[in-house]
């Protein structure tokens, strides 16, 4: 193995730069040339590679976003697009590729490996949604969750002052990891997550019960689910039932930006090193992750075919804590 490529794909996630930096340093320490592929799969299809040396990754560990840029590539969903990517990998002379992204990225990578006899692919989980099977945490989740907690804290001040009901919508697509952990840490009164059916009656009754025991304001953390903006409808229906003044805050892309937390920098660094080591050991079509404090390689197909469950204990304790 002489030359490896590295790319970031899907939504950017804080800590991706720490991962790129660690992979480049590990590659160079093992006499590998490292090529950065710009703009995720869009850049891979175009063969858009830039050499990455020590200078390129200097002073980047504290930066959010991704220095390689990223994309959601419509072309990669087609076999034709993936075959173009395979040709570009040949042209760039890559002996292995590190892909930092989420489950969509790994789904695409599995199809690429099935369509073409390509260089080994090693994934690194990077997604604020944290919905990738084969790792307890994805790079970016901790920063995004902390951003949501800070927002909840701020909103609690004004909710309490005005005796209002707030609905705070967090990202996470069809997974409730961000909502669950930020809801617990922010002391939310109620939670709406895609893993459980939405019940306007249940939400309303629990909030009413809180008011009866003396609460004068409440915060409901809502996971965006399949349709961002869903919290407006939920707020309207609950507000009508309770006849109570309510407001909605959609945190949106605020959660994706900003400097990575210590956890995301450390996780990004660890998995960046592990990804290069996996390639050097001859691993292929797998994802490096951390499970129970140990590094683990999971077949790429499992990372998107298997559903990562929410932490059952956290789901169990939420209702008691929010009473």
Ligand X SMILES: O=P(O)(O)OC[C@H]1O[C@](O)(CO)[C@@H](O)[C@@H]1O
Ligand Y SMILES: Nc1ncnc2c1ncn2[C@@H]1O[C@H](COP(=O)(O)OP(=O)(O)OP(=O)(O)O)[C@@H](O)[C@H]1O
Binding site for ligand X (CB under 6 A): 11, 72, 102, 127-129, 171-173, 224, 256
- Give strand pairing partners of 6: 36, 98
State yes or no: residue 303 binds ligand Y (CB under 6 A).
no
Question: Smallest distance, Å, CB 114 to ligand X?
Answer: 24
Could you say which of 129, 131, 142, 264 is catalytic?
129
Whether the CB-CB separation of 148 and 182 falls below 8 Å is answered with yes
Q: Reduced to 3 states, what is the DSSP secondary structure of residue 296?
A: strand
* Structural tokens at position 309: 């469950």
Euclidean distance between CA atoms 262 and 142, whole angstroms: 9
For 257, residues 6+ apart whose C-beta sits below 8 A from its C-beta are 14, 64, 65
Whether the CB-CB separation of 133 and 298 falls below 8 Å is answered with yes
Q: Reduced to 3 states, what is the DSSP secondary structure of residue 285?
A: coil
Pick the piece of the chain touching ligand Y (CB under 6 A) from 61-69, 98-106, 147-155, 201-209: 98-106
DSSP string computed for 54-94: HHHHTT-TT--S-TT-----GGGGSHHHHHHHHHHHHHHT-
Euclidean distance between CA atoms 25 and 27, whole angstroms: 5
State yes or no: residue 77 binds ligand Y (CB under 6 A).
yes
Give the DSSP letter of residue 9: -
State yes or no: residue 129 binds ligand Y (CB under 6 A).
yes
| Positions 36 through 55 that interact with ligand Y (CB under 6 A) | 41
Euclidean distance between CA atoms 271 and 22, whole angstroms: 8
Question: Smallest distance, Å, CB 248 to ligand Y?
Answer: 23
- Tell me which of 48, 103, 169, 190 binds ligand Y, using CB under 6 A: 103
Question: Smallest distance, Å, CB 174 to ligand X?
Answer: 9
Partner whose binding site includes residue 256, from ligand X, ligand Y, none (CB under 5 to 8 Å by kind): ligand X
| Positions 199 through 238 that interact with ligand Y (CB under 6 A) | none
State yes or no: residue 8 binds ligand Y (CB under 6 A).
no
14/101 with CB nearer ligand Y: 101
Partner whose binding site includes residue 172, from ligand X, ligand Y, none (CB under 5 to 8 Å by kind): ligand X
State yes or no: residue 142 binds ligand Y (CB under 6 A).
no
Question: Smallest distance, Å, CB 48 to ligand X?
Answer: 20
104/120 with CB nearer ligand Y: 104
Nearest-10 Cα torsion for 297, 123, 177, 14? 130
- Tell me which of 19, 23, 35, 76 binds ligand Y, using CB under 6 A: 76
Question: Smallest distance, Å, CB 290 to ligand X?
Answer: 20
CA triple 12-253-227, angle to 5 deg: 105
Q: Is 95 a catalytic residue?
A: no
Question: Smallest distance, Å, CB 13 to ligand Y?
Answer: 6
Interacting residues with ligand Y (CB under 6 A): 9-11, 41, 72-73, 76-77, 101-105, 107-108, 111, 127, 129
Please give the positions annotated as active site.
129
């Amino acid at each position: 193995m002489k030359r490896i490529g590295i790319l970031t794909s899907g939504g950017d996630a804080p800590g991706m730069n720490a991962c790129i930096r660690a992979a480049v340093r590990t590659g160079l320490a093992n006499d590998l040339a490292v090529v950065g592929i710009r703009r995720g799969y869009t850049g891979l299809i175009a063969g858009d590679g830039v050499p990455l040396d020590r200078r390129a990754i200097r002073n980047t560990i504290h930066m959010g976003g991704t220095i390689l840029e990223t994309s959601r590539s419509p072309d990669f969903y087609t076999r034709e697009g993936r075959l173009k990517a395979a040709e570009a990998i040949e042209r760039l002379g890559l002996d292995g590729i590190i892909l930092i992204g989420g489950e969509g990225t790994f789904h695409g990578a599995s199809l690429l490996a099935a369509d073409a006899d390509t260089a080994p692919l090693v994934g690194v989980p990077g997604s604020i949604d944290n919905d990738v099977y084969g790792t307890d945490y994805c790079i970016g989740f901790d920063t995004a969750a902390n951003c949501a907690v800070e927002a909840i804290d701020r909103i609690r001040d004004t909710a309490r002052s005005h005796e209002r009901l707030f609905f705070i919508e967090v990202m996470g697509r069809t997974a409730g990891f961000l909502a669950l952990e930020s809801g617990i840490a922010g002391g939310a009164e109620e939670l709406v997550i895609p893993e459980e059916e939405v019940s306007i009656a249940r939400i309303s009754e629990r909030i009413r019960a809180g008011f009866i025991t003396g609460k004068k304001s409440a915060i409901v953390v809502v996971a965006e689910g399949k349709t961002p903006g869903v919290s407006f409808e939920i707020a309207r229906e609950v507000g009508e039932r309770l006849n109570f003044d309510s407001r909605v805050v959609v945190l949106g892309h605020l959660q994706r930006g900003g400097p990575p937390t210590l956890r995301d920098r450390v996780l990004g660094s660890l998995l960046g090193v592990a990804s290069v080591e996996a390639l050097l050991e001859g691993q292929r079509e797998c994802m490096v992750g951390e499970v129970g404090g140990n590094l683990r390689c999971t077949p790429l197909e499992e990372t998107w075919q298997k559903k990562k469950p929410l932490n059952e204990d956290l789901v169990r304790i939420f209702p008691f804590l929010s009473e």
